[in-house]
Amino acid sequence: MGDLSLKTHYSTKELVELNLKGFPSAVKNIIEKAKRENWQSRKREGRGGGLEYAFSSLPIEVQQEILLKTTPQQTAVELQKIEQNRPLASNELWQMWDEASHKAQEQAKIKLGVMFAVANLVESGVNVLNAFDAVCGKENAERQQNNQKKLTVGSLKNWWYLIKNAPREDWLPLLLNNSGKGTKKTAEMDEAAWKFFKNFYYSREQPSIAHSYQVLKQAAVLNTWKIPSLSSLKRKMAREVPKTEEVYRRGGKYALSQMYPSQVRTVAMLEAMEWINGDGYQHNVWVRFPDGEVKRPKTWLWQDVRTRKILAARTDKSENTDVIRLSLLDVISRYGLPKHLTIDNTRAAANKKMTGGVKTRYRYPVNENEVKGIIPALGIELHWTSIQFGKGRGQAKPIERAFSHGGLGDYVDKHLLLRNAYAGANAYEKPDYDGKNGSEQPADYDTFILALEQGIQQWNNVANRLTEICAGQMSYAQAFERDWAVAEKRPVTESQMRLLLTLHEEVSLKQNGTFHLNAGKIGSNKNRYEALELIGSMHKRVVVRYDPANLHDKVWVYALTGEYLGEAQITEKAGFGDQMKGREYNNALRNWTKHTVKAIEQRMKAEEMELESYVPSPEFDEQFMEIIPDPIPQPSRAIEVEYEEVIEHNAIRLMKREAEIEEDVDEELSVFDIALANQTKLKITE
């Protein structure tokens, strides 16, 4: 064993300060005693000079007392050295030290000081049993003054024999046992048995510990394994298998992820009604619906994210598109449009009628040209709760808090109006109504709706809510009223209200302006609608919006791009021999044809008038060449007239060309020749 850092020499002043029993208390008397007993000494270094006496030359009883009194200071120094320089070979021991409680560590440090005192005495030559007695006596004297539990020699023996053969650096973690007795030995267990047990118990089937131990015992008999008792096995599991490993091996990734600290978000930057979230709640109460069916109703609720106030709710037999749509209509009718909306990716909430066109739906096929659902068509940005490790994280929505213990399950399901209708939270918590199963009395539907409304109001008005916005001073309703007054309002338009009041269906439009809707069909029989304005339309596919509660009223037809095209009316099949229906049809046909022809002819007339304004009138060139009088012919020349047709701008004109023909005539012409020439000229000019 290594030695503690013990002082080898003491000055007379230090010996006086130790206040040793049976030892001189004055410096002069100590010097005389040292001379008399021939203590070994050396000159003291530093100021003042004097002598220092060797510890080994002091009387034995003085040495022991000095060791006992100086051990605590030496122990503190040694503790610091040990914790700073942990031996690598003892990692497992020090891992136990790190995992121990603060109380256990402090008790181990006290034991370590006691063991250092024993070790000092033993190394100085004192018998170990005498060392136990001396140390125990000193410790108990101090403990008695402090009203502490006495220390026994037996405890010192157990501690000593536990650590005496171990490196001094490992004494501290070895002394962690709390009982004061020797450390408990771990029960033996073959490695093969331990592996077999872990593979069986730490599995996704999650067998019980009792069943797993029974299987282990059977396998141990067949394989001659050594196995501990069940209690020892449990301690071994706690020591050697981390909790994270246990959760993953028995529960999977999702269960392991639940151990991770949840994220804390702030809503301080949001306004009231800027962001809402919704979810469905299954009531634990029996209700008789208007059609006579008795069921547990399902309510869809919308909540303001900032203030946590429940804004609206609708109830039905199940969670469906209509209750989600109509409850959203209630919210928007009262408070306007939110900017953001968070829901789960459930079949009812994520259906195309509500979320069509959202690329991140991850439910149902997403088509490039699919019709926009109600939520994106209203300009609301849709957010889904995340899906991690195959399961949704619905608890990320604030409204989930309203469904936990002390929430709507108390305020609604246990309402005074619903006495004797409570179904219980689960199969093991059913109320005992007169000790009979099935003795619950279903509540009337109207009574349930009244209890639901009152319960939600009570929930919203609970004072001093401990949320970020309420800060323990306001209710949800008060916080919403305060923040809603200064929030930006986004009123809804008539066309947006129509989106909320109706559902939509994409259908094929025929050339005669008719189409069929799947909504309201019975078997293969579908409702047929006609839109006279769309006869001959180029739209082959259109979107029809309809009120599901009034399918026999008019419906509205839109282009796939969202433009409004017109209204359509439902048509009825006429009997084969129904003359009245035939006359009505013929009259409608004639009226439609008449008005259509009239409208077309008016358009044609307008187009003809417009066309005439663009047709240019023909222009004729009225300019003619100046006619030059013919020169008087000379008698000596003969004139030959040639004719040439000139076509100029659709007008045909004759032009003469005189050709001079030189003839060898006499200088004097006869009177006949001159007259003949003049007559010919006259005819040409005419």
pLDDT digits (tens, 9 = 90+) for 446-480: 999 999 999 999 999 999 999 999 999 999 999 99
CB 543 within 8 A of CB 506: yes
CB 420 within 8 A of CB 440: yes
In this predicted structure, what is the pLDDT of residue 347?
66
Question: What separation in angstroms does the CA of 231 have from each of 187, 211, 238, 456?
Answer: 10, 14, 11, 50
What average pLDDT score do residues 129-154 get? 80
3-state secondary structure of 446: helix
What average pLDDT score do residues 191-210 get? 92
HEC letters along 515-582: EEEEEEEECCEEEEEECHHHCCCCCCEEEEEECCCCCCCCEEEECCCCCEEEEEEEECCCCCCCHHHH
Q: How confident is the model at residue 316 (pLDDT cuts 50, 70, 90)?
A: very high
Pairwise pLDDT comparison (180 vs 582), residue with the higher score: 582
What tens digit of pLDDT does each residue of 439-449 get?
Answer: 568 999 999 99
In this predicted structure, what is the pLDDT of residue 577?
41
Which range is least confidently modeled, 44-48, 221-225, 495-499?
44-48
**Cβ neighbours around 564 below 10 Å, total:** 12
In this predicted structure, what is the pLDDT of residue 19?
65
Q: How confident is the model at residue 274 (pLDDT cuts 50, 70, 90)?
A: very high
In this predicted structure, what is the pLDDT of residue 4?
44
In this predicted structure, what is the pLDDT of residue 474?
94
In this predicted structure, what is the pLDDT of residue 613?
62
Q: How confident is the model at residue 80 (pLDDT cuts 50, 70, 90)?
A: low
Which range is least confidently modeled, 61-65, 611-615, 668-672?
668-672
Pairing of strands 381-384, 340-343: parallel
Q: Is the pLDDT of residue 350 over 70?
A: no
b/e per residue, 110-119, with b = 16+ CB within 10 A?
Answer: ebbbbbbbbb
What average pLDDT score do residues 67-78 get? 60
- The CATH superfamily assigned to 275-484 is Ribonuclease H-like superfamily/Ribonuclease H (3.30.420.10)
In this predicted structure, what is the pLDDT of residue 239?
87
Q: Is the pLDDT of residue 56 over 90?
A: no
Per the prediction, the chain carries an average pLDDT of 77
Q: How confident is the model at residue 673 (pLDDT cuts 50, 70, 90)?
A: low
In this predicted structure, what is the pLDDT of residue 461?
95
Q: Is the pLDDT of residue 255 over 80?
A: yes
**Cβ neighbours around 633 below 10 Å, total:** 17
In this predicted structure, what is the pLDDT of residue 667?
47
Q: Is the pLDDT of residue 72 over 70?
A: no
Q: Is the pLDDT of residue 120 over 60?
A: yes
Residues in the chain, overall count: 686
Q: Is the pLDDT of residue 87 over 70?
A: no
- Residue 236, C-beta contacts closer than 8 angstroms, at least 6 positions apart: 186, 187, 189, 194, 228
Question: What are the domain boundaries of the chain?
Answer: 9-174, 191-257, 275-484, 502-580, 638-685
Q: How confident is the model at residue 404 (pLDDT cuts 50, 70, 90)?
A: confident
Q: How confident is the model at residue 520 (pLDDT cuts 50, 70, 90)?
A: confident
Q: How confident is the model at residue 91 (pLDDT cuts 50, 70, 90)?
A: low
- Residue 56, C-beta contacts closer than 8 angstroms, at least 6 positions apart: 8, 40, 63
CB 338 within 8 A of CB 380: yes
Pairwise pLDDT comparison (221 vs 71), residue with the higher score: 221
What average pLDDT score do residues 620-629 get? 58
Which range is least confidently modeled, 172-186, 214-228, 468-482, 497-511?
172-186
In this predicted structure, what is the pLDDT of residue 306?
94
Q: Which CATH number fits domain 191-257: 1.20.1300.10, 3.40.50.10090, 1.10.10.60, 3.30.465.10?
A: 1.10.10.60
What average pLDDT score do residues 519-541 get? 83
Phi, psi of 109 (to 5 degrees): -65, -35
DSSP lists the bridge partners of residue 525 as 522
DSSP state letters, 46-83: STT--EEEEGGGS-HHHHHHHHHHHHHHHHHHHHHHHH
Look-up of token digits 């306004």: 271
Element (H, E) at 13: helix 12-17
Q: How confident is the model at residue 281 (pLDDT cuts 50, 70, 90)?
A: very high
Measured CA to CA, the distance from residue 187 to residue 232 in angstroms comes to: 7
What average pLDDT score do residues 544-569 get? 84
Q: Is the pLDDT of residue 262 over 80?
A: no
Pairwise pLDDT comparison (143 vs 410), residue with the higher score: 410
Do domains 191-257 and 275-484 share one topology? The answer is no
What average pLDDT score do residues 17-40 get? 71
pTM of the model: 0.53
Measured CA to CA, the distance from residue 599 to residue 594 in angstroms comes to: 9
What tens digit of pLDDT does each residue of 363-403 get?
Answer: 555 555 566 678 888 888 888 876 554 454 545 688 988 88
Phi, psi of 267 (to 5 degrees): -115, 15
Q: Is the pLDDT of residue 686 over 50?
A: no
Q: Is the pLDDT of residue 615 over 60?
A: no
In this predicted structure, what is the pLDDT of residue 123?
77
CATH of domain 502-580: 2.30.30.130
What average pLDDT score do residues 228-233 get? 90
Q: Which CATH architecture has domain 9-174?
A: Orthogonal Bundle (1.10)
